Structure 1
Amino acid sequence: MSGSKGNMEVLSLEMSSIDIAVGMLYKNFLGNVGPAVRPTSVGIAITKQFGINVITLLWLSYFNDTAE
């Protein structure tokens, strides 16, 4: 069982890295992020521009963490 716990910790770390990377891409893509920005619209724009699928919860959690 300790092996699976270690795997979960690695997965958590990888998801955290993805979270930060996508959040930074979002922030850099938009520049000055304001409260009027619609997350779904930006996710679609990033997907079209960079060819990656943005998972809304990943970058929303990034901005919630950095706002505190």
Structure 2
Amino acid sequence: MEKTEKKYIKRAQKDYSISFKLSVVQEYETAKVSLAFLQRKYRIQGSYTVCLILKKLTCSTSK
């Protein structure tokens, strides 16, 4: 009986530039698209990452 090795692929953490984050926020606010759509369009890895980008940048720009 053969042993099969499971290969785990480590996901690389990406650091997104502030200009990229601002473009995501701007599109979310103007186009009224869903968070899932933005995640797929910009190939953002985690679904919560989009939420964090919006949360951080909408709070800081509204002051």
Tell me the TM-score normalised to structure 2 length.
0.48
Larger RCO, structure (CA 8 Å, separation 6 or more): 1
Larger Rg: 2
Per residue, is there more helix in 1 or in 2? 1
Tell me the TM-score normalised to structure 1 length.
0.46
